[in-house]
Every structure is written in C-alpha cells, then in structure tokens.
Structure 1
C-alpha cells in the first residue's frame, strides 16, 4: 500500500521532510479495525510530532503519522464487536501507532465512531480530533453540566480547529455565553459564524474582555499559549471558576496565582485514553457517535475550510506548511 512518512525530522521546506513509499497492508487482530482511508485532516500535533520524533537520527523505516481520518472498515480483528466490514467510520487515531497518512490503517474500535451520514468524507475527516478535545475539555475536565447554562466562557484561540468546534459545543450544547479571541477580520468573521457571542482581541486580553462587558468569566479554555496568557487568565477567572488548557507549558506555571480564588486547573490531552488504555477508553467511541448525531441533525456543523486532492508527500508538506504558519482558519482536509 502507499504511505507517506519521514526518516528524519527536517524543516517542512525540505523536499525529504515527507516521502512517498510502499509498505505492506497491515492485518487486524484483537480490537483492531483495518480501515481503507478516504480522507484525512491535519492538526498542530501532526507537525509537532514530525519536528520532534526523529531529531538527530535517520530511521530505517519511514515513520507514518497523521491522526484524523474517515474511511470504510475493510476487515476486523477477532475481538471486535462494535463494527463490521463495510461500515463507514471516522476517528482521531493513537499517537503511539502508525498514522492515517496511508491508504490503510489499523485503529482500535474503542476510539472509532460511525461517520456522520450527512457529511462528505472530507467534512467528516476534519472533526474527530478537535471534537474529542473540545468535548473532553468542556464535559470531562471542567465537567460543565445543566446547572452551568447561561454562565460565561472565554475561549482563547476561537478560529483554530479546536476553537471552532469548542465555540459550537459551548454555545449549542452547554448553553454558555461564549467570548473568544481573534485579531484579523477573517478570523473574527469565522468565530462569529461558529456562534461566538463576543469576539475580542487577544493582544490586550484583560481590557478587551472587560470592554465586552465581563469583569470576570466562569470558565476559560486556553488553546494557544498557557504561559503567555497565564497572568491574564488568573486575572479574568471568577472565584471558584475553572481553567483548562491543551497547550502545555515551556516553564512551570504559577498555580499559586489561582489559590485565593480556589480556581481549578486542568490539562487535556486527547491521546490520554488510548496511550494509557484507560478503563473508560471506549468513551471516545461514544463521544464520536454523539458528535456524528449532532452533525447529522444540524446542531453542529463541520469546520472544514479547505481541501487538497490526493494522498502525496507534496500535499502533506503543503498542509504542514499551512499549519505551521499559524494562519489556518478552521480545518484543512486531504481527499484521497
């Protein structure tokens, strides 16, 4: 089968940063599904893995990455109970296994959902990783529920992949008042299209939020830079509020700044359940099926904003270049 990979971590401008190659089609076992992939998407985690997983070394076998995908189940392992050959699926992958930048992929059924019937392969492929991340942030980390309707949430980075669906979930499912950040006319317009009530400029975050009429907010999602926005988040969060982040930190964060307000802080990694084979790993199957239902009934909409045609090293390079620029709005898909 055809696959796209790399043997060493190179700048994306280098021709060998991704290479086309042929490899054996994998064989499913246990809970594995063998999926024939129809479309994929790219996320910041893709280029971060490429930049860091083969530094200062050359791999004997190219490393295949890629996470978001939509496709059709071709074969199943002997322990599979949730799907059968011919089922259309979508999923966000496992960071420790070969990825979706290939014609076929093995994926554990417990982190796979049924593809939304009303969406094209590209419209579906852009949704899993960001939807799982946003859902887990809102409903599994902060644990927002019915009693929180009408409360306020600040989403830092509303025009990106996670931000785009987080706005929709926070507004349409959780019933929150959504404030998000953007600084360009096109990103502001996109955030409003996703359902944001207020769009503020992140370059002067505290004052911008207050000019929008909020002295403090109940919840904050950081999707951009934990260290860079830490002081602003500590200032803007209400007493007994919650902050959650996906971005990590280059230096330790001063949790003491949250103490007097009794503020809760959460990290979120979409790969936690698959990496550690947690007891509730199948929860991602349930989340994806719920997201598919919400997409099919029109409550949520796909965040697809651009499509490239064809599985090739050139297209994967182009997609990574666009993500690394930091200018991507919504999501980008590659149709095979």
Structure 2
C-alpha cells in the first residue's frame, strides 16, 4: 500500500508539472503541429529547417507516380478537383443528380491574380479555373518525392493543403516552377504563397534548392511576421458561401439546351465513384489521326502513363473523345 501511494504521488507531481509548463498530457511539445506543416509557426523559421540540396534528375517522373489524377482519397464520394472547387468558390451551384458534388458554376477570387473569375462548367469554359498544386508534382519529384511511398505521393497530389483553385492562365504560366522561377502576379499573396510551399515541403520532407530558399527568404523579409498557413483554403473568410441547387425552371431550361451527350452522362456522374464511366458516344466529326497531331493519346490510360493527365482544352493531346463530360478537361 505504501509503494502504491508513493507511485500515485509521483504521477500526480508529474501531471501538475506538465500543466504548469503548458504541455498537454501525452505530447512532447505544446506547440507541436499535428498536421506536419508547421502551421502557425514562423515561416522563416520553418524554412530554415528545410534541407538545402540540388535538384535531382527528373528521370522516371510520370503523373501516375502520384496516383490517379484527382482520386477520391477521402472517400466522400466526390473527386478531389470538385472538392477544391467546392472549398474555394463562392455562390456555388451544383450539377443535379451528383449529390452536391460536381460544381456547375461559382465565383473564384483568384489568389494568384487578385481577380474575380466566374466559373461555369462547360467544354469551352471549365479551363478558366484550374486546380494548382502549390508545390508542383514534378518539382516535388525532383526534391525528395522519389523517396516517398506511392501511397504518400498520392496523398501529396490530393492533399487540400497543396491545392488551390486558380486562374487557368496563371496555372499554365507557372507550370512546374518553384519560388525561384515563378511567383503570383498578385504581390499581396506572395508571402502566403511562399509560406504555404514551405508548409507542404515541411510536411512531406521535401528539400529546397539554394536559389529557391534565397527567393523564399527574400519574399518573407517583407513580411517577417508571416506564419505557415493553416489547413484551410485562401477564400475570403467574410464572403458568404451559398450552395444551392438549380430551381425547377432552371432545370427545365437546361434539359432543353444541354447536348444529348451531357444528358447521357448524368447517371454516370451520379455513380462515378462506384463504377467506371462508359465511353462517350463519338461526335459526328471524325477523330483526329495520330499523324495529324504532334501529341496523340489513344486513350486516357495512355495519357496518364505519359504523365499528361488531366489535359485541358488547348493543350497538346486534348481531343473531345477523351473529355467524357465535355467540360474542357480530358482524362480527369
């Protein structure tokens, strides 16, 4: 009994000591980030913890090394692309029969340009808003992701922290650039942009090049109090987000104006996470032949193996037969 009482006294003392210094029970450090990004900490200090190395060869890089494009990794029944559109757009309306998943329209306050962009899902309009990997997958591959497991790379490619809905043209200009080669034209967002890249690289143990670190440090010198962002998007927190289904009159109008191919796709989109979508009915115009294009993919499997998916309208290799829902994005 005496030994039991002594042990109880010791444990009580340790618990009291941990409370005095502000440590939660079972944690080594009170301010240790739980998501691995370093969120809330000084971006400059977290940058200094990143390893500095030269860029590794791009040899072996394919988009498929990071899993299926826009996979439903959180198993919520909605692909990653639409998850991010849902998060970053306001005044969202959904395509009916998709269980509030497929975003039909909305407004984006683009962090890269500072402009407001009206998004409308469609063959010639969807590319106005694209989903950017803040740390490009090719850049990640050359700075440590080669050593990650396939599961971890898939997590990186679909991690909401590493994804932002942005203006399509800005996304294309960025390509796979890092902070040393590309920055948003919206200068007021550059500090948060660099800090978010730092958070991603910290979480996935990716390194930075000497030039990249120098560029990040220069950006952060203008905002010394900048912290690594938390796990949310960058949408205006004061903006009211409305998520409404089209009213009955709007549905009737769309039923009369939408293309037959789009109508046939609706049941597929409703259950797209349960079974693969069937191939679309070929359009009346003849399909382009390989010799007529500088880049040609026989199907989406070939495009993914080449690391080209998703393919936006206007990019090499895009053709309508690969764009199942005719929204301007093939092999999603």
TM-score by length of 2: 0.28
Higher helix share: 2
TM-score by length of 1: 0.28
Larger-gyration structure (1/2): 2
Higher strand share: 1
